[in-house]
Amino acid sequence: MTDLHGTAKKYLRAGLSVIPVEMPSKKARIAWKQYQTDPMPEDQVESSFNGAEALAVITGFNHVEVLDIDARSVGEPFLDALREKMPELASRLTVQATVNGGGHLVYRCPSVKIPGSQKLAFKVIEVSGPGRYVHGNDGRTIEGSGPHSQEARQGSDGKWYGSFCTLESRGDRGYFVVSPTPGYTVIQGSLTKMAEVSAEERDFMLDLARSFDESGKLTAQDVPKQAASDKWEPPMTNRPGDRLNREATAETALAWLVMVGWQLHHADDGFYYVTRPGKSVQEGYSATIRRENGLFHVFSSSVLEFGQEQSYPPFEVYTRLFAAGNHSAAAKTLVGAADTPRQTAPIEKGKLFRTAQDLRQNPPQPRYLAHAIEAGTITVMFGDPASFKSFLALDLSVSIAAGLDFAGKPTDQGPVIYQAGEGFGGLARRIEATCKSKGIPADADIPLLVSTTPVMLDDPTAVEGLIAEIREACPSDPVLLVADTMAASMSGDENSSKDTGALLTNLRRIREEIGCAVLLIHHSGLADKSRFRGSSALAGGVDAIFRVTRQDMTVTLHRPLKMKDGTPPADAHFTAESMVVGFGEDEQPITSLALRYAPHRQPGRPAVKADKKSALLRALADGMTVLAASQEIEGLTKTTAYRLASELVADGLIDTDHKPTKAGRREIEWI
């Protein structure tokens, strides 16, 4: 007989949160909301699991996440691709075979706040006609109803198709059935000792899963547009959401969507047709907005914030885009906006308008803080791990705070706020090295304020507290806020346009209330190094985008990929130099890096072995595996990476688990 009681206790001791579930429905047998954050006490297991035949583990808690493979026809190619591209990662994952031939890939990702479950890939299959269909793990598609059935769509070719989810993640506030439930068997690894993966490894797996999505084969044009024409009228109450639903127009909803990266495809008398972020207008539209009442109807299965074949009134659209789905926070924002009296000054006769000729002769002059970063704008600076993008951001911050040149050009001096969310262990050394390299005396009081406690910039309440703290700490309003990095400054998912939209909304609030520019330090994409990681909505919501690269010890701030106005500056080159910032108890020098502007320096030949070795050491200190580091560091092959790792072990700089030793941490001057 299956020992669910004993296994449940074993899982609890391993740091998992468990609940009993019914089979085959997989419904929870008990109320389980409290166990999403606090595991069940062991002394309650006997009563809670009394009569139970199945056991489930809650995802999200303790950073547990699962890739759920629902179809054998997709699962085997996906696993083959993962083993080919990331063999070391594939070998570490806990793999569980599930009932009916599916599978689970189980892992923890401690460096990420696990978001909610996401549908990652769909399989499009021709069916016999209209109706609802179920697609089984055996590859057969039959007519049927139930929670996993899908309504068939008629394609532009006249045939009928079903779109079935084959790969999805189980994340925050979800759960998955586990061994020893009958039909569930762990075939690799252990649920009590599941592997920890890095944020980069997790992103790679999710992106790989998305690459198996076939939903693009069935465009939104294949869905009858009358699906969005359902009659709907908002309630006549005075609640903020109902007021917004009555007052907002279709144009209001369209403007919100455009702010987070949607595009207008076309319009007719009844609807606006819009294309989701990440899809070109030429590929078709993904949703409609009914012009009569602003009702937003989504056809696409690839919009994380909204459900497929669902309609949403304006308040729900606003909440999901700008309040991370928190209706209470959205309502408070709306009430605050409504209760704020509008200050209207009397119009002075003859002063309302200016002629075009006057504007041409006396154009407003942009105010640049430094290197095409305009006052009051939002800028992204991104680069690979170990590209020294944080050193560059710190050099920029110190230059502006001290009123010194940056990249050979004057800066507009003013207070700077620097939020260090990653790598703040050696931040004091970095600041000292940067100030020394610029000749700033040790007793100089430059207006640079540093925080090593990341503020979640996509959380309206946290941003409200940040604004209050800045006003308390700064005698005068700062001119620049640096968030290093964006990933460490978000509680949501950077791949979600909804969470990115919430971030952008809050950054605009900071800009408006304090008047400062905002600089986001971000990571490059895993597959495409020429763009940043995450949602494409970010590109549409910022004013400028810069890329940072490094070759050997030369750092390049490239010509901006996006800049709304003005003449884009040319590439700027800097050299990284080691600076002595003090001495330890053993009288050995304590060093850190600083950048110097090198106007005539060009990136040289690829880094020599010694530099690759130090780059590998830095990557391992950042939590990367040797294999992942070999894919990130330019010119470093997998074979060379493992050979250098062996040398680092022999040098006493890392242990046999590839974690930096005390000597290794001292060697890494910028950690």
Would you list the DSSP string of 512-544? HHH--EEEEEEEBPSS-TTSBSS-THHHHH-SE
Three-class secondary structure of residue 310 per DSSP:
strand
Run of H or E residues at 600 = none
* CB distance 658 to 620 below 8 Å: yes
| CATH number given to 220-337 | 3.90.580
Instruction: Give the angle 21-25-28 at the CA atoms, nearest 5°.
Output: 30
Peptide bond into 377 cis (omega under 30): no
Q: Hey, what are 669's tokens?
A: 């001057």
Give the span between the Cα atoms of 578 and 588, in whole angstroms: 14
**How many Å apart are CA 345 and CA 354, to the nearest integer?**
18
Q: Within 10 A of 87 (CB to CB), how many other CB atoms are there? A: 12
Phi, psi of 133 (to 5 degrees): -135, 155
Tell me, yes or no, if the pTM score tops 0.85: no
383 CB contacts (<8 Å, ≥6 apart)? 389, 523, 524, 547, 548, 549, 550
The CATH topology of domain 370-605 is Rossmann fold (3.40.50)
DSSP string, 383-427: E-TTS-HHHHHHHHHHHHHHT--BTTB------EEEEE-SSGGGH
pLDDT on residue 609: 41
Hey, is 25 helix, strand or coil? coil
Q: Cα separation of 207 and 278, whole Å? A: 13
DSSP 653: S
Cα of 279 vs its chain's centroid, Å: 18
- Provide the pLDDT for residue 415: 94
Residues (pLDDT < 70) of the chain are 1-2, 71-73, 132-151, 154-157, 215-238, 278, 283, 300-305, 308-309, 324, 333-352, 364, 422-425, 526-528, 601-611, 650-651, 663, 666-671
From residue 374, alpha-carbon distances to 203, 394, 471, 482 in Å are 32, 17, 22, 14
Of 469, 403, 476, 411, the residue nearest 440 (C-alpha): 403
Question: What are the residue boundaries of the structural domains of the chain, listed by start?
Answer: 4-217, 220-337, 370-605, 607-671
3-state SS class at 548: strand
- Residue 455 · residue 466 · CB < 8 Å: yes
Q: Where are the alpha helices (DSSP H) in 23-95?
A: 45-48, 72-85, 87-92
**pLDDT at residue 528 in the model:** 64
Which letter does DSSP use for residue 230 in this model?
Answer: -
Instruction: Please give the DSSP secondary-structure letter assigned to residue 654.
Output: B
Using alpha carbons, select from 561, 508, 537 the residue that is nearest to residue 258.
537
Q: What is the pLDDT of residue 417?
A: 95
48 and 18 Cβ atoms separated by less than 8 Å = no
Whole-angstrom Cα Rg for the chain: 27
Query: What is the rounded end-to-end Cα distance, in angstroms, of the chain?
Result: 53
Distance CA 114, CA 170 (A): 9
- List, in order, residues 6 or more apart from 543 with CB less than 8 Å away: 374, 377, 378, 379, 562, 563, 564
Residue type, 581: V
Question: Prior bond to 346 cis, omega within 30?
Answer: no
